[in-house]
């Protein structure tokens, strides 16, 4: 049905990666809503993070100016994306790195698998990375006999629990401490059976479990938060030190990065290093940020590969309204303020990108017809727009995508019928009188018959008035 033309913007291919859910949002959300533990965990976590983030953002008198700068820098990046990527390639290569280009998930997985295989290692350690989750890299590596060890605590909880991530920043946000303890006791080799659910004890268990793996694995795979075109500098922002381990200890480092992560100049990082930590974990600065340019002789990995990933981003860029979603720096502030995310949970969105940003990014990466329910997974309250550090107008995008999403035939027929009736005053008056009769008909269920019942599943049918305006006017 869909054809891809060489050199033309293309959406992410089917059958690989994690951008499409198995069921539409309303069906998946119903399961999340029915899980009281999930709602308690999410309510607690998002309330905590909103308070922390609000407090440290309030400390900066120039927060709005930083947002303006962040949005403008990213808009400039999108306008000059091909040129900036070529500049980045030159700078990374000059610093001793090797740059690879992947048009989609299949190519990226193949490139990384071949690079790992060439080292002879059958295991990689991984820093949490949205891009590699998006393309399903772990599954591709497993299929080639290479085990991928997630080293971020939340990713480890998800991996050991054979679970799916539900938040961009904290993939195990749907788990509380007692559940995490259970997962560790059941799935972590060599765990102390007297482990408590005290968070420091849980963190210490992860430290012990991963230590030997860090010291003996020769290849690491990371994502990137930023890449500076002018200097070839890559940046990874993290908390635990697992990122530093992966970026420092192995002989070979492979970084997979969405093309939109490039920024023009070194100075631009002064903006994003202020915006990102305060918006994401609600800290003045995250515990660790690592920056490197290519290879440093005698310090860290001596082989560095950078994989630049399209996988649908060109299709997003092709939509002049929709492209602003590519400004996203993956802070997850929009998730933490969203009333729909807080109640439905991240799994309901079906994609690795949940919440408001997921509702506008996933349908654009896959083509809106393959995630057609996501643009409706919102009340359009606008909290996400206010929270976004790069000012992505998510409500505007949602409406834009609703317009582009396929609409049911019944809706088009109903709208055409309404337009016909409203064009004809006599018919309109008759229709209004008929609507009044429905007060008696609709009393039992307050719903409409099929195919219009879809509209009234989640809404009450409004009560028609006793008199129409025209009748009241005539009798006045």
Partner 1 sequence: MSGREEVLARLRAARGAPPRVPAEAPRDYRPAGGDADLDLLVDRLTDYRATVHRCAEPEVAEVVDAVLGGRRVVVPRGLPERWLPASVTAVTDDDLSTAEVAAADGVVTAAAVAVAETGTIVLDGTPDQGRRVITLLPDVHICVLRSEQVVAGVPDAVARLDPRRPLTWISGPSATSDIELNRVEGVHGPRNLHVVLLTS
Q: Which of residues 70-99 bind partner 1 (CB under 8 A)?
A: 72-73, 75-76, 78-83, 85-86, 95
The CB-of-350 to partner 1 minimum distance in angstroms stands at 23
Q: Does 168 bind partner 1 (CB under 8 A)?
A: no
How many whole angstroms separate alpha carbon 171 and alpha carbon 151?
A: 12
Among 35, 68, 396, 471, binds partner 1 (CB under 8 A): 68
The CB-of-165 to partner 1 minimum distance in angstroms stands at 11
Segment 235-264, which members bind partner 1 (CB under 8 A)? 239-242, 244-245, 247-249, 259, 264
**Residue with smaller CB distance to partner 1, 138 or 293:** 293
Q: Does 297 bind partner 1 (CB under 8 A)?
A: no
The angle formed by the CA atoms of residues 246, 247 and 250, to the nearest 5 degrees, is: 65
Segment 309-348, which members bind partner 1 (CB under 8 A)? 310, 313-318, 320
Segment 368-387, which members bind partner 1 (CB under 8 A)? none
Q: Does 206 bind partner 1 (CB under 8 A)?
A: yes
Among 113, 119, 286, 302, binds partner 1 (CB under 8 A): 286
How many whole angstroms separate alpha carbon 205 and alpha carbon 212?
A: 13
**Residue with smaller CB distance to partner 1, 65 or 415:** 65
Contacts of 288 (CB under 8 A, 6+ apart): 237, 238, 239, 240, 241, 243, 244
Residue 405, sorted as left (phi over 0), alpha (psi -120 to 50) or beta, turns out to be: beta
**Residue with smaller CB distance to partner 1, 103 or 398:** 103
Q: Are 159 and 141 in contact (CB under 8 A)?
A: no
Q: Does 200 bind partner 1 (CB under 8 A)?
A: yes
Q: Which part of the chain contacts partner 1 (CB under 8 A), choosing from 116-124, 171-179, 405-413, 440-448?
A: 171-179
Among 15, 36, 61, 120, binds partner 1 (CB under 8 A): 61
Q: Does 188 bind partner 1 (CB under 8 A)?
A: no
Contacts of 294 (CB under 8 A, 6+ apart): 92, 93, 94, 95, 96, 97, 232, 304
Q: Does 124 bind partner 1 (CB under 8 A)?
A: no
- Shortest CA distance to 121 belongs to which of 213, 189, 190? 213
**Residue with smaller CB distance to partner 1, 75 or 113:** 75
Q: Which part of the chain contacts partner 1 (CB under 8 A), choosing from 195-203, 356-364, 377-385, 434-442?
A: 195-203
How many whole angstroms separate alpha carbon 81 and alpha carbon 66?
A: 22
Q: Which part of the chain contacts partner 1 (CB under 8 A), choosing from 3-11, 388-396, 407-415, 464-472?
A: 3-11
């Amino acid at each position: 049905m869909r054809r891809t033309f060489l050199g033309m913007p293309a959406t992410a291919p089917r059958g690989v990666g994690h951008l499409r859910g198995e069921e539409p949002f309303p069906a998946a959300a119903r399961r999340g809503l029915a899980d009281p533990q999930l709602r308690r965990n999410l309510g607690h976590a998002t309330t905590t993070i909103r308070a922390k983030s609000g407090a440290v953002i309030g400390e900066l008198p120039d927060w709005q100016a930083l947002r303006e700068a962040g949005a403008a820098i990213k808009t400039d990046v999108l306008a000059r994306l091909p040129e900036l990527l070529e500049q980045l390639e030159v700078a990374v290569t000059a610093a001793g790195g090797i740059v690879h280009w992947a048009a989609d998930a299949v190519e990226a997985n193949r490139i990384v698998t071949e690079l790992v295989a060439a080292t002879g290692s059958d295991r990689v350690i991984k820093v949490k990375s949205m891009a590699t989750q998006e393309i399903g890299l772990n599954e591709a590596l497993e299929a080639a006999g290479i085990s991928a060890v997630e080293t971020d605590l939340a990713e480890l909880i998800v991996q050991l629990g054979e679970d799916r991530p539900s938040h961009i920043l904290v993939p195990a946000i749907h788990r509380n401490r007692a559940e995490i303890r259970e997962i560790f006791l059941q799935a972590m080799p060599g765990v102390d059976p007297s482990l408590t659910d005290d968070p420091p004890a849980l963190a210490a268990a992860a430290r012990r479990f991963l230590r030997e793996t860090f010291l003996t694995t020769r290849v690491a795979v990371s994502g990137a938060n930023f890449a500076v075109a002018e200097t070839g500098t890559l940046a990874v922002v993290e908390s635990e030190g697992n990122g530093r381990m992966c970026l420092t200890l192995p002989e070979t480092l492979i970084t997979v990065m969405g093309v939109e992560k490039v920024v023009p100049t070194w100075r631009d990082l002064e903006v994003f290093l202020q915006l990102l930590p305060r918006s994401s974990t609600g800290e003045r600065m995250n515990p660790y940020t690592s920056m490197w340019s290519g290879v440093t002789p005698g310090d860290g990995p001596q082989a560095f590969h950078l994989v630049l990933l399209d996988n649908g981003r060109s299709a997003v860029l092709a939509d002049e309204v929709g492209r602003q979603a590519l400004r996203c720096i993956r802070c997850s502030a929009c998730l933490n303020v969203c009333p729909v995310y807080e109640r439905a949970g991240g799994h309901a969105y079906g994609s690795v990108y949940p919440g408001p940003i997921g509702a506008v990014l996933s349908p654009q990466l896959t083509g809106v017809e393959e995630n057609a329910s996501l643009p409706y997974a919102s009340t359009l309250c606008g909290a996400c727009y206010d929270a976004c550090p790069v000012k992505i107008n998510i409500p505007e995008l949602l409406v834009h995508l609703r317009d582009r999403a396929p609409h049911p035939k019944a809706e088009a027929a109903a709208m055409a019928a309404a337009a016909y009736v409203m064009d004809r005053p006599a018919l309109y008056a008759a229709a209004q009188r008929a609507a009044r009769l429905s007060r008696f008909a609709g009393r039992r269920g307050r719903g409409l018959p099929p195919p219009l019942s879809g509209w009234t599943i989640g809404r009450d049918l409004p009560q028609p008035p006793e008199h129409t305006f025209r009748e009241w006017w005539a009798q006045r």
